[in-house]
Structure 1
């Protein structure tokens, strides 16, 4: 997670930590970086409305700039979608810190599911776009792998006491099952196909994960 948070920090550092030698030049750079951020946010806004690759014209119109401005900041649309993916991953990490790591089983379970459900609710549209176009770019495939790795890391952290009771192979298998169970599309299927409310879908995950995990070892 730390590496992902660094991405947004580095991104914002470009805006907030510019040298003070030439206010005029720095002002231009500041505006350019702000324009870049607005273009990224316009891209993400369009994808949330319709999870397919928007055109440069659509992105420019949503951001309030010209198509030329888009390509002055990004050499092509692939570079834009990679930047937007990094920005979204960093936002997701910032909005979903690990909570109640040392709590009892049900406290940890509810905390992890609530956090993951929120991430899925916000991010499923971009995830669908990534899955549909990831074969076009090794960089996008790397982002998909990283996102899944972050999810696995969070599961390991939140359910460490239970997973520690399993032999290595079984522990790996349970982690794989947990990651598949809490996949973005799993959440979307409950919400869209089965018509569950947020709290109902959340409770389904809590129920399923609780039964998939081994017993919590006694403490003390």
Structure 2
């Protein structure tokens, strides 16, 4: 006789919970050890499981990295949904910058580790491209009125400049090298974005 469904469901839930705890342990260590990738033994110790438990759920550390990045994307989507896109120019710039700053503040070290250690992994490379595309998509949404005033070539150049401006490395330089506070770093981005985006005749007056 097959076991009752409730036992199977409970076992599956425990396995998924174990998988999540392993991912969270990897993320915590990746933040601490960046840019070095944590070893399986370090991850197991942090999670409170055996190394065997890790490889029962992930074929290798690279697969665990990919799962961790996907987990981060889900967290970012849940914690930083688009907001303020229908506000005036100043409020849209501030809303975008503060949300982006919070994301960089939380995930900068993990991003550094991901970029440094992507190697020849097409899966990690695809996640890096997706992350950058999401940044551009958010900018196009938040600054749609300004982009609408530009010709296609100018719009593309401005988008490239803005994407480089709000890169994680830019945030890290402001916070760590120049020792700016969170608010001061946001102010630098807001001021620069305001200068790069065109203004309507009423705003320029």
TM-score calculated relative to the size of structure 1? 0.88
Q: Say which of 3, 6, 9 aligns to 1:26.
A: 9
Gaps of 5+ in 1: 1-20
Residue number in structure 2 paired with 1:77: 61
Cα distance change of structure 1 residues 25 and 168 upon mapping to structure 2, 3 Å threshold: same
2:19 to 20, 36, 39: 36
Structure 2: how far apart are the matches of 1:96 and 1:105?
19
Shift of 1:143: 0.2
Q: What is aligned with 2:28? A: 45
The reply to whether residue 205 of structure 1 matches residue 189 of structure 2 is yes
Separation in 2, partners of 1:130, 1:167? 35
The size of the alignment, in residue pairs, is: 199
CA deviation after TM superposition for structure 1 residue 202, in Å:
0.6
Q: Could you tell me which of 121, 124, 132 is aligned with 2:116?
A: 132
Matches within 5 A, 1:173-212: 173-212=157-196
What is the rounded CA distance, in whole Å, between the counterparts of 1:86 and 1:218 in structure 2? 43
Report the equivalent of 1:162.
Answer: 146
List, as ranges, runs of 4+ consecutive aligned residues in structure 1 with deviation greater than 2 Å.
216-219
In structure 2, runs of 5+ residues without a counterpart are none
- 1:60–1:67: 8 Å Cα contact kept in structure 2? yes
In the alignment, what sits opposite 1:152? Answer: 136
| Cα distance between partner residues in 1 of 2:93 and 2:179 | 23
Structure 2 distance, partners of 1:79, 1:113, is 32
Asked if the contact 1:46/1:59 (under 8 Å) is kept, the reply is yes
Aligned alpha-carbon RMSD (Å): 1.2
Q: In the alignment, what sits opposite 1:105? A: 89
1:181, 1:85 → 2: CA distance?
A: 22
Query: Counterparts of 2:109 and 2:62 in 1: how far apart (Å)?
Result: 17
Deviations 1:181-213 (A, max 9, x none): 000000000000000011110111001110011
Contact kept, 8 Å, 1:161 with 1:216, in 2: the verdict is no
